[in-house]
């Protein structure tokens, strides 16, 4: 049996509602057929903290969704009960967001020689090395600056990583998302790659992408970084982590614990405007032989040895 999606829905926007009216407003809307409400929250992230803070405001904007127009009588009552709000109503077309998004995701040269090709597309003839990716709900189509920076640093560091490992290098990708950076490491010649993510959906998607690319040497365990056993201390020739800077700081001790002495650590997801305090905190008390920095847009990435 298939369920059909209606062609349109109705969105009511109430701007400038008084905070004290939040409950009575939503209750009134639900009593009159609303199917859902969504508040536009204001955020701030002043420090290198992972979680943005919600700014408490006296007034706020609320979206209310109805299957069809709620009627003029309802709007009259709403305006008289909540006179401070500026209320507007629009009928909007339902779209298959996923299908629309898929249409815009084209094969592209990710980092030479690697092309990223959506799993539902053919690889173009000029693609020398192909990474097939189906992102599902995970982060990592390869288009984000932080991913591209991390991939570039891995590719540029690889000859030395391979030369110094003495065997097929062992790589760790922390915050793997779709698994795209783990796949780069494997395709470059890593003998074994471990890919970790705190999000179970990302782990599922990463495993699918590993299978799509027949990259059996990439394992996606259920384990978290801090759970990696002591037998893996100093085991990885390459550790890559593309996560927001605050999370990298929290993972710092374990990232260093599992990195081989002299190994390559690629860090990405650092806002350039915060890189000074980030590096100070991340490298505090650590001997560092050299560092390479790359930037793109508002992001910085580092290769640290």
Ligand X SMILES: C[S@@+](CC[C@H](N)C(=O)[O-])C[C@H]1O[C@@H](n2cnc3c(N)ncnc32)[C@H](O)[C@@H]1O
Residue ranges that bind ligand X, judged by CB under 6 A: 138-140, 144, 146-147, 150, 174-177, 180-181, 196-199, 202, 225, 242-243, 247, 251, 269
Q: How far apart are CA 81 and CA 29, in angstroms?
A: 12
The nearer residue to ligand X, 18 or 207, going by C-beta atoms, is: 207
Cβ-contact 154, 160 below 8 angstroms:
no
- Minimum CB separation of residue 275 from ligand X in Å reads 16
Burial bucket for residue 176 (CB in 10 Å: 0-12, 13-18, 19+): buried
The nearer residue to ligand X, 12 or 270, going by C-beta atoms, is: 270
Backbone angles phi and psi of 84, in degrees to 5: -75, -20
The nearer residue to ligand X, 62 or 161, going by C-beta atoms, is: 161
The nearer residue to ligand X, 85 or 182, going by C-beta atoms, is: 182
Burial bucket for residue 254 (CB in 10 Å: 0-12, 13-18, 19+): middle
- Minimum CB separation of residue 129 from ligand X in Å reads 17
Backbone angles phi and psi of 13, in degrees to 5: -115, 125
Secondary structure of 209-253 as H, E, C letters = HHHHCCCCCEECCCCCHHHCCHHHCCCEEEEEEECCHHHHHHHHH
Q: How far apart are CA 163 and CA 115, in angstroms?
A: 25
- Minimum CB separation of residue 150 from ligand X in Å reads 6
- Minimum CB separation of residue 141 from ligand X in Å reads 7
The nearer residue to ligand X, 153 or 225, going by C-beta atoms, is: 225
- Minimum CB separation of residue 269 from ligand X in Å reads 6
């Amino acid at each position: 049996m298939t369920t059909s999606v209606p062609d349109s829905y109705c969105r009511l926007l109430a701007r400038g509602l008084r905070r004290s009216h939040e409950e009575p407003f939503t209750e009134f809307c639900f009593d009159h057929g609303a199917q859902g409400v969504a508040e536009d929250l204001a955020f701030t992230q002043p420090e290198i903290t992972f979680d943005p803070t919600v700014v408490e405001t006296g007034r706020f904007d609320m979206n209310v969704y109805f299957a069809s127009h709620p009627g003029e009588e309802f709007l009259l009552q709403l305006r008289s009960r909540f006179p401070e709000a500026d209320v507007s109503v629009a009928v909007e077309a339902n779209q298959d967001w996923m299908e629309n998004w898929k249409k815009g995701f084209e094969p592209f040269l990710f980092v030479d020689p690697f092309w990223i090709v959506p799993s539902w597309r053919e690889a173009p003839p000029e693609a020398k090395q192909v990474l097939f990716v189906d992102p599902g709900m995970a982060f990592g189509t390869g288009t984000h600056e932080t991913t591209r920076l991390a991939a570039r640093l891995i590719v540029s560091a690889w000859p030395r990583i391979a030369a110094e490992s003495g065997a097929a290098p062992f790589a760790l990708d922390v915050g793997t998302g779709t698994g795209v950076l783990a796949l780069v490491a494997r395709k470059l010649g890593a003998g074994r790659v471990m890919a970790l993510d705190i999000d179970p959906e990302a782990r599922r998607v990463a495993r699918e992408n590993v299978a799509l690319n027949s990259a059996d040497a990439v394992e996606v365990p259920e384990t978290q970084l801090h759970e990696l056993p002591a037998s893996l201390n100093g085991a990885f020739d390459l550790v890559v982590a593309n996560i927001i800077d605050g999370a990298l700081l929290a993972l710092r001790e374990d990232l260093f614990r599992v990195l081989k002495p002299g190994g390559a650590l690629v860090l990405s997801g650092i806002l350039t405007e915060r890189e000074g305090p980030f590096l100070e905190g991340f490298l505090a008390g650590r001997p560092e032989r050299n560092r390479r920095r790359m930037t793109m847009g508002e992001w910085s990435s580092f290769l640290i040895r």
